[in-house]
Amino acid sequence: MGKSIADVIKLIKEEDVKFIDFRFTDTRGKEQHVSVPSLHFDADNFKTGHAFDSSSIDGWQDVQVSDMLLMPDPNSGYIDPFYEESTLVLVCDVIEPSDSNAYECDPRSLGKRAELYLKSTGLGDTAFFGPEPEFFIFDSVQWNTDMSGTFFRINSEEASWSSWNDFNGVNTGYRSGVKSGYFSVAPVDKFQDMRSEMCILLEQMGVPVQLHHHEVAVEGKNKIRTKFSTLVQRADWTQILKYVVHNVAHNYGKTATFMPKPIVGDNGSGMHIHQSVWKDGKNLFAGNGYGGLSEFALYYIGGIIKHARSLNAIVNPSTNSYKRLLPHFEAPVKLAYSARNRSASIRIPYTANPKDCRIEACFPDSMANPYLAFSAMLMAGLDGVQNKIDPGEAIDKNLHDFPPEEDAKIPTICSSLEQALNYLNEEREFLTRGGVFTDAILDSYIALKIEESRRISMTTHPLEFEIYYSL
């Protein structure tokens, strides 16, 4: 939908569009928007853009240089299915008006720089990404944090703890136990129709869907897998997916979250990221090596393993991320690679077709800004190829059950956001090559995340009362 400016103008007339919704993504990965009546929109807006105050976006410009432009991408256009009035969404790049260049802290523009950098290296011309963002759907959620105390409470009819509660005066008893929700069918799986509606809307909005199902955690954990694509488009699609999940759940009177670990004691949500690099129509990851991989792909894995701890700050960007990354909850905490082995942090999915050959990084989660996450993983992998970083031997054993003496020899990802931010700050050079990540965006990003981490560390936790109150 909307492959050219002319197509967009035609679509506005055919669909009797009343509003144009300019959307962009902030540093944390949250979509922002402003709507303009279609009467005040024409083809010139694709050249002049739409002015906005960037100082109101966390981590962006100071108030004295706050004016920025939203430059719509005509290829991104789709009709929003959730608004009562017909509204056309256009995803935007953020432009610095003083020189008409892309704003260096704009995540989407950064993704474009990563794609250009790949081409400039001569190593490849296209990077494909296929993320799998998982999410929870709850009946309701409550929380409070103030001087009187703090708490959160999750209500979920699916949850094992709801076996003694009535819902509208009834408790049917259809629920499975902890860690046993994977591929469950109705009536245990209560979200089939909701996920199906999400998938239908995604297709209407230009995002191809491959499958959907209930995930392992029984408290409403779900997955929708959508098709792989190029870096920036795939990041655009990820933002659309999250938008659809949130709004469909809301329309059903439910609430959805992409938090990695909202539930204590059951599996969390990840965002496995499938990736490959191509050149001249050839998949450079396909070969005759381990798992059907090429030397190029193995070096790419080496780069990700080498830089995994600094990558953590970008692909696991919340304090909650590290509550998921714990042993015994299918969390890929060990920095190893393996074919088909789901306990490794980097997996090589089985395929009989060389075109489908890829790697799957399993440690990222959906708190990640997709533009930053895909770009960072690409830069780490390319560093591995450029410097021929050996990833070591593959490990085909279950990494969750290694004896202690063997387990200690395998490196791990970071154990906290604070640790990851320190690694990112110290090892940023591989990200700044070709001007893809700049010091400005990294400094801004790190400052935002340090502030989040400090807020958490300064807040009294209910568990502290259980451990310390009566001592």
pTM of the model: 0.95
| Total number of domains constituting the chain | 2
pLDDT one-digit tens code per residue, 196-212? 999 999 999 999 999 99
Supply the pLDDT for residue 330: 67
- Residues 78 and 182 grouped into a single domain: no
Q: Is residue 120 part of a domain?
A: no
pLDDT one-digit tens code per residue, 73-87? 999 999 999 999 999
* Separation of alpha carbons 20 and 72, rounded Å: 10
- Residues 250 and 342 grouped into a single domain: yes
Q: How distant, in Å, are the alpha carbons of 3, 347, 384 from that of 50?
A: 20, 43, 40
- Residues 366 and 218 grouped into a single domain: yes
Q: Is residue 114 part of a domain?
A: no
The answer to whether 36 and 88 have CB atoms below 8 angstroms apart is no
Helical pair 439-457 and 417-426, crossing angle rounded to 10 deg = 160
Q: Is residue 113 part of a domain?
A: no
Which of 271, 238, 225, 323 lies closest to 29 in space, CA to CA? 238
Res. 266: pLDDT tops 60: yes
Containing structural domain, residue 95:
5-102
Res. 329: pLDDT tops 50: yes
Q: Is residue 228 part of a domain?
A: yes
End-to-end CA distance of the chain: 64
- The whole-number average pLDDT for the span 277-292 is 97
Which of 32, 28, 1, 31 lies closest to 14 in space, CA to CA? 1
Res. 1: pLDDT tops 50: no
Split at pLDDT 50, 70, 90, the class of 267 is confident
Q: Is residue 177 part of a domain?
A: yes
Q: What CATH number does residue 45 fall under?
A: 3.10.20.70
Backbone φ and ψ of 76, nearest 5°:
-95, 0
Q: What CATH number does residue 320 fall under?
A: 3.30.590.10
Is residue 367 exposed (0-12), middle (13-18) or buried (19+ Cβ within 10 Å)? buried
- Residues 66 and 212 grouped into a single domain: no
Cβ neighbours for 14, distance < 8 A, ≥ 6 positions apart: none
Q: Last residue of some domain: 102, 135, 164?
A: 102
- The whole-number average pLDDT for the span 412-433 is 97
Supply the pLDDT for residue 328: 64
Q: Which region, left, alpha or beta, applies to residue 363 given φ > 0 means left and ψ of -120 to 50 means alpha?
A: alpha
Q: What is the average pLDDT value for the chain, to the nearest integer?
A: 93
- Residues 29 and 130 grouped into a single domain: no
Give residue 15's identity as a one-letter amino acid code: E
Supply the pLDDT for residue 238: 98
pLDDT one-digit tens code per residue, 115-168? 999 999 999 999 999 999 999 999 999 999 999 999 999 998 888 777 778 778
Pairwise pLDDT comparison (269 vs 2), residue with the higher score? 269
- Residues 339 and 193 grouped into a single domain: yes
Split at pLDDT 50, 70, 90, the class of 273 is very high
